[in-house]
Copies of this chain bind each other. A is one copy, B any other.
Amino acid sequence: MKDERELYMGRALRLAKKAASMGEVPVGAVIVKDGKVIATGYNKRETLKNALAHAEIIAINRACRKLGGWRLHMCDIYVTLEPCPMCAGAIINARIKTVYVGAKDTSRGALGSFCDLASASGLYHPKVEFGCLQQDCSNVLTEFFRGLRHG
């Protein structure tokens, strides 16, 4: 039987695949509160022609609207790829409780890889857990970029 975390990350992974099918770098995000998915997002930077349209930003925007407040301190976020500085900063600003990360982003990941905003002194510290469906989350990116190289 699947771990609850794998179910949520599995949903984020399906969103990442939807992004890939639209020619977007495949990243998906799911926000969960009290065992319910309250908001989702996937990368739409090219589709929306907007530098802010990362999966996490779209999901956090929807969660704030849905809950009617800027504090998401009772929420967890599941992301298929380690957040960039913008998205890690947004997660911190929104006081999200726990961040579940699929694949690490060694070049831009801001929760421990490229830098670690989540344990920086003076900022709010979300809990961060790596490794949920890591291989699947990594594969979807590898396949996407392989597809791009081969036209």
Q: Footprint of B on A, CB under 8 Å?
A: 45-46, 48-54, 57, 60-61, 64-65, 68-72, 84-90, 92-95, 107-108, 110, 114-115, 117, 120, 122-123
Contacts and interface: CB of A to CB of B under 8 A. Distances in A.
Contacts of A86: 85-90, 92-93
Contacts of A110: 85, 89
Contacts of A94: 51-52
Contacts of A52: 52, 57, 60-61, 64, 90, 93-94
A136 B18 CA distance: 48
Contacts of A72: 51
19 contacts: A45-B70, A48-B70, A49-B70, A50-B65, A51-B70, A51-B93, A51-B94, A52-B57, A52-B61, A52-B94, A54-B93, A85-B110, A85-B117, A86-B87, A87-B89, A89-B89, A108-B122, A114-B120, A115-B117
